[in-house]
Structure 1
Amino acid sequence: MYSWTRFYFRLPIFLRLFLTVIVFMVFFGALIHFIEPQHFPTIFDGIWWAFVTGSTVGYGDYVPLSNAGRIIGILLILAGGGLVTFYMATLSAGTIKHEKDLSTGKVAFKGKGHIILVGWNERTRQLIEIMQQHNDPEDIVLIDRTMRELPYNQYPVHFIRGDVSDDETLHKANISYAKEILITADPSMREEQADQVVILAIVAMKGLNPELKIIAEILTEKHSVNARRAGATTVIRSNDFMSALFYHELHRNDPVKPFELLLEIMTEQQFHELDPPDTLVGKQFKEALIHYASDKETLVGIIRDEQLKLNLYSDAIIEKSDRLVVLTPLSQ
């Protein structure tokens, strides 16, 4: 008996109230059936009457006629009506609280195969919009420690508020079943401090999921090696990338704007790393260009000895150990 009581009180309040309402209505339904069997031929008829009366709907298809039956009806209205009303009020309040908890990042994510984004900033906001435009099927979990609220109905993400280096936060994001993680540097911190936070996050994540693919944004050159040592699969040095774009823009005299062109390429196409097919091993780079151009793809360069090589000579030979970098339209 004690174990059932303990089990009952450990249930969520919605379920406890629901079970209480069911037991309450079944009891009154069975009672009215035994008191007035001529007017309530079956127990189900009595239960139907109890639900209709207790919820104050009152269809009038079943009515107790005896004094004892009417007394039961009075007790049902007094007790059952209040119980049903309390259940509905609790259900409504719980729904509102759950929505509030979702917006404030308190609800754990239960899905699998999702993508985790760390840090709420303009970069992640635009990335979410791009993924939404291209109908990416993966669920997105956003972890951020500074944002107090993210309206869940405005962005298609599951928000978790907390420190990304904290195990509790990572467990809430269900990191053990995540597909990959993108860690962005915190723009409110000094660059070196932001890199240290990213590296600490990588260590924490790898400790919980050693096989996890982690893409990390690093701002300073000296910490890129440390990020790889910590376990980052890919390190993006955004400062170096943007500095190169700034330099070319400063020395460009024609009206073409490379920033806009680059953004258009990144939003409409995606990069792939591929092993060279056997038919291209030992062939010249220009032959590979023609091979991928026939499929409306663009061969950009190769990765050899962990270094990206662009603008190769047309007679450069493709080796079996190379990785081909190919630009593919997202619609394919």
Structure 2
Amino acid sequence: MNTELFKHIYFRLPILVRLFLTILLVMLFFGTVIHFIEPKQFPTIFDGIWWAVVTGATVGYGDYVPLTQLGRIIGIVLILTGGGLLTFYITQFAAATVQHESDLSRGKVAYKGNHHIIIVGWNERSRILMNRILKHDPKKEIVLIDQTVSQMSYRDFPIHFIHGDPTDDYFLQKANIKEAERVVITADDHKSEKQADNQSILTVVAVRGNHDKVPIIVEVMTYNQIDNAKRAGASTILRPNDFMSALLYQEVFKAHSKPFETIIHFLDAQQFHHYEVPEEWVGYPFHEIINPLQKNGRLLLGIQRDGEWIFNPQRELLLVKGDILITSIPWER
């Protein structure tokens, strides 16, 4: 029974581990045998193991050499068996390294880290987002889940790539969704807007089913899918079509003054920051905290409350615990 259990465990180990254990046993065996055959030439078992490793690796330092005929026969057998095993191990190790690199670029390797950001969908928006995240925090780990690209080299894009369907629990678990810090879901450019929204909402459902507390930021293209995204569990819903339509409208009817050209450049370079309202400001009206922040060069744009963004709120709006202040530059209290 114990033998069968050992075989079951042994043959379930990775091939490199099995090879290493086999080589270890072979070297231990030959080292022990040569010690007992020639105890004067090999005073300790460790000396015998050292000789076995050096001989099996065909290094041949010559510091320990068998003198008897039987000892030399043992040496011949060791060279024929141990040397072959070591060569095979090195070959397999190199092949496994190359295979791992290939699997990594093809999105087949599971992510084992934590506190990472998961981005769903590879497109221009997610590429720019990735670059800005890494520029802000070069050590931040990013995991990309996408099924439209078949390969992504880590040397070109310093992210962990998972090739697969983001609505499938299997691929979300490969991205270690339970340990993720937040999830960003971008609309699929390869589908119609309605199909892209359906895919995004299904992804929200799958993510929320695997992690009930992770913040989910989702890009929704059509207005009638906003409520569905909320029901699915999205924390923040972005509507890029509304924003771009407003800019196009201003450009069409106010092109002579181009008031939005400066804003576009501002938004392109600006980074907004979010901070939970301090305890001492809870209960204060919105307008009373604008001046203290402006004195330090920080522009208060609005707040986020219960998942909703409120820009330029009413002056008398009272701040409550859990409100998120939105400022234009980092706020160091």
TM-score by length of 1: 0.91
Inter-partner Cα distance in structure 1 for 2:283 and 2:88: 73
Match of 2:256 in 1: 253
Match of 1:122 in 2: 124
State the shift of 1:321 in Å. Answer: 3.6
Q: Give the AA of the match of 1:230.
A: A
Change (3 A) 1:283 1:233: closer
CA contact (8 A) 2:201 2:229 kept: yes
Farther-moved stretch of structure 1 (317-326 vs 140-149): 317-326
State the shift of 1:96 in Å. Answer: 0.7
Q: Which runs of 5+ in 2 are unaligned?
A: none
Match of 1:223 in 2: 225
Q: Give the AA of the match of 2:129.
A: L
Farther-moved stretch of structure 1 (153-162 vs 90-99): 153-162
CA contact (8 A) 1:280 1:318 kept: no
Match of 1:51 in 2: 53
1:52-82, CA deviations, whole angstroms, 9 ceiling, x for partnerless residues? 1100111111111111111111111111111
Q: How many residues align?
A: 326
Alignment of 1:282-321 (within 5 A): 282-283=284-285, 285=287, 287-302=288-303, 308-311=309-312, 316-321=315-320
1:170-221, CA deviations, whole angstroms, 9 ceiling, x for partnerless residues? 1111112222110000011100110000011111111222222111000011
Farther-moved stretch of structure 1 (11-20 vs 205-214): 205-214
Alignment of 1:8-47 (within 5 A): 8-47=10-49
Match of 2:273 in 1: 271
Is residue 174 from structure 1 mapped to residue 179 from structure 2 by the alignment? no
Inter-partner Cα distance in structure 1 for 2:43 and 2:85: 26
1:21-53, CA deviations, whole angstroms, 9 ceiling, x for partnerless residues? 000011111111111111111111110011011
Match of 1:154 among 153, 156, 169: 156
TM-score by length of 2: 0.91
Alignment of 1:194-209 (within 5 A): 194-209=196-211
Inter-partner Cα distance in structure 2 for 1:24 and 1:307: 67
1:253-272, CA deviations, whole angstroms, 9 ceiling, x for partnerless residues? 3575432221101xxx3231
Alignment of 1:69-80 (within 5 A): 69-80=71-82
Change (3 A) 1:71 1:279: closer
SS of the aligned residue for 1:329 comes to coil
Inter-partner Cα distance in structure 1 for 2:158 and 2:305: 38
Change (3 A) 1:115 1:5: same
CA contact (8 A) 1:140 1:158 kept: yes
Match of 1:326 in 2: 326
1:120-177, CA deviations, whole angstroms, 9 ceiling, x for partnerless residues? 1111111111111112544211100111001122222111111111111111111122
Q: Give the AA of the match of 1:11.
A: L
Change (3 A) 1:88 1:328: same
Q: Give the AA of the match of 1:263.
A: D
CA contact (8 A) 2:134 2:140 kept: no
Inter-partner Cα distance in structure 2 for 1:191 and 1:159: 25
CA contact (8 A) 1:114 1:139 kept: yes
Farther-moved stretch of structure 1 (155-164 vs 270-279): 270-279
1:84-116, CA deviations, whole angstroms, 9 ceiling, x for partnerless residues? 000000011011111111110111112222211
Inter-partner Cα distance in structure 2 for 1:172 and 1:284: 44
Change (3 A) 1:223 1:284: closer
Q: Give the AA of the match of 1:294.
A: K
Farther-moved stretch of structure 1 (317-326 vs 18-27): 317-326
State the shift of 1:306 in Å. Answer: 7.0
Inter-partner Cα distance in structure 1 for 2:132 and 2:301: 22
Q: Which runs of 5+ in 1 are unaligned?
A: none
SS of the aligned residue for 2:144 comes to strand
State the shift of 1:299 in Å. Answer: 0.6
State the shift of 1:6 in Å. Answer: 1.1
Inter-partner Cα distance in structure 2 for 1:131 and 1:91: 35
1:270-310, CA deviations, whole angstroms, 9 ceiling, x for partnerless residues? 2315336545745461x422111233321112457876444
CA contact (8 A) 1:281 1:318 kept: no
